[in-house]
A and B are shown apart, each in its own frame.
Chain A
Amino acid sequence: MILQPAVLALLLIALLVAGMGIYAGYYGMRILGQWDPASGSEGQLELERRTYLVSTIMSYILSFELMSLFLFIYTADELHPLFTGAMCAAGTLAVNSFGYPALIIKVVNFLLAGVWLIVNYADNRGYDYPLIKVKYELLNLLVPLLVLEGVLLFAYFAGVKPDIITSCCGSLFSHESSGFSGDLAMLPHLPMQIAFFSGMAVTGASGLFFYIRGRAGYLFSISSTVTFLVAVASVLSFICLYFYELPTHHCPFCLLQKEYGYIGYFLYATLFGGVVAGIGTGVLMPFRKVGSLIRIIPAIQRRLVLVTLCCYLLFTLITGWKMVFSALTLG
């Protein structure tokens, strides 16, 4: 265990988020069980008030998750001198087997919290609480994940001891290494580039189609999600190479360092923002015909699509610009 202020801060946030999650989840269960919009009883009024609390808590959780996600990566980056062999966050996270799961679940929780808030926003615009069940079932899904995140984070930091010999990003994300991350880095450049750009193109086309015609929302949502995954794999496989201008350095974290102008924060922010809005569009699809939302959801969806398109466009532009002007040329 390393008693560093940053580690303390991260653990504190994890604790608070899990605590708030459980609290919100408890009332979510009560709302699911006792909800009766037709009744004007005091119990129902009380529950309706609780929905304000739950949505306030969730928006705090979302912002805490976002901030602590970056703090987590940055801290991992900061800690690397303590470990022999680690050269950036990649090595620090590999110190024990909880590092990467904690990171992944942090990302997942952030995405889910974002989607929840989108659904919540739509629900609040309808006068008869149309999505209340969906919303709180989603919350029940999210709460165990929030708790799991806290547990993983504790397990990770508890198991971190200085002077452990670990692998650095060079060996973790290299062609020689086996394992999932190595496999991702090993993906051949050209097919990945094709996959990446065609994914972006399909998302863009379906997004525009949806924006104009209001149809094929599922297609757009799925393609934006798939494109997100492809984009993450592409960062590992070829995008980062252009930023590092090294043909073998596949680390997704070094992008966040000062040497590269903190460009990573911007890249990942566009990617996360885009995919949250993209998934949100799809999640709202089944409720387009709900009476009180018939005019509201399409408007929200159009805005979400616009967010996704802008975010992905920025990401593609930066990537493309770097690919054209980088000193590195891949064969």
Chain B
Amino acid sequence: MIELSNLTKSFNSGQPNQFTAVDNVTLAINPQQITVLKGPSGSGKTSLLSMIGCMARPTSGRIFLRGVAAALPFRQDGADAVEITSLPERFLNEIRRSTFGFIFQQFNLVKGISVLENVMLPAYPTGEGRAEFRARAVSLLEQFSIARLASQRVELLSGGELQRVAIARALINNPSIIIADEPTAHLDSKLSHEFMEIVGRLKGEGKSVLIASHDPIVFDSPLIDTLVEMRDGAIVASRSCR
């Protein structure tokens, strides 16, 4: 469960080119559901996602994470919610690493290293034994039926394969929330449908999924639970699709 209250993010504050990307957003995102943020580019979807995903800190407002606190080595006054906006970067990271998995528009795979290494990359700094996360990565690749590509370099993959590698990478640290930013922007319709299928499977495994998209295949999909429409940094509509 993620709660946002009065969240604002502005850039270049105090300067003439000040620009507010997210403006006073209050929202609750339910666990184990698929939530889609819909809106044209520049509507603040990405900024909102990066704040929820502990990548950026809001200028003002607060974000509470519920249900993840127990897994963390520190807690604020015994509550089960963590207020993440005031945490220093190293703590945000710890939360991010254990709680969120990310899928990016460009897939953002590291060139020059193998598929398997790309999938394992988020686990490197956790200090987990290599053998353990390697086994997990291999089984993820098998699950997405790309195990045969394990030792190949990512430059040589097709779009659909790239996408599946990116999803496998997002899952390596066993996160409870998956965040995807315009995941279908570079995919054709067939692959986009396939992506939504995978997302549905993830939901079935008990993961929460948060997608920002302006692709009808995504926001018209029967799988989604909540649709949030954004424009100019603010929420214009939010409805449940169930």
A→B interface (CB under 8 Å): 37-38, 40-42, 45, 48-49, 124, 127-129, 292
Contacts and interface: CB of A to CB of B under 8 A. Distances in A.
A38 B88 CA distance: 11
17 contacts: A37-B86, A38-B86, A40-B57, A40-B58, A40-B60, A41-B13, A41-B59, A42-B11, A42-B12, A48-B89, A124-B90, A127-B76, A127-B87, A127-B88, A127-B91, A128-B86, A292-B74
A126 to B, nearest CB: 8
A129 B88 contact: yes
A128 B76 CA distance: 11
B51 to A, nearest CB: 10
Contacts of B74: 127, 292
B85 interface: yes
Nearest to A123: B88
Interface string B1-31: 0000000000111000000000000000000
A12 B120 CA distance: 42
B88 A40 contact: no
A37 B89 CA distance: 12
Nearest to A42: B13
Interface of B: 11-13, 57-60, 74, 76, 85-91
Contact of B59 (A40, A127, A128): A40
B100 to A, nearest CB: 18
Given A37-B86, A42-B11, A292-B74, 5 more contacts: A40-B58, A40-B85, A48-B88, A124-B90, A127-B74
A292 B59 CA distance: 23
Contacts of B76: 127
Contacts of B85: 40
Contacts of B91: 127
B228 to A, nearest CB: 23
Centre residue among A40, A41, A49 by max chain B CB count within 10 A: A40
B57 A45 contact: yes
A127 B13 CA distance: 26
Nearest to B9: A40
A48 B91 CA distance: 13
A45 B59 CA distance: 10
A328 to B, nearest CB: 51
B42 to A, nearest CB: 20
Contacts of A48: 88-89
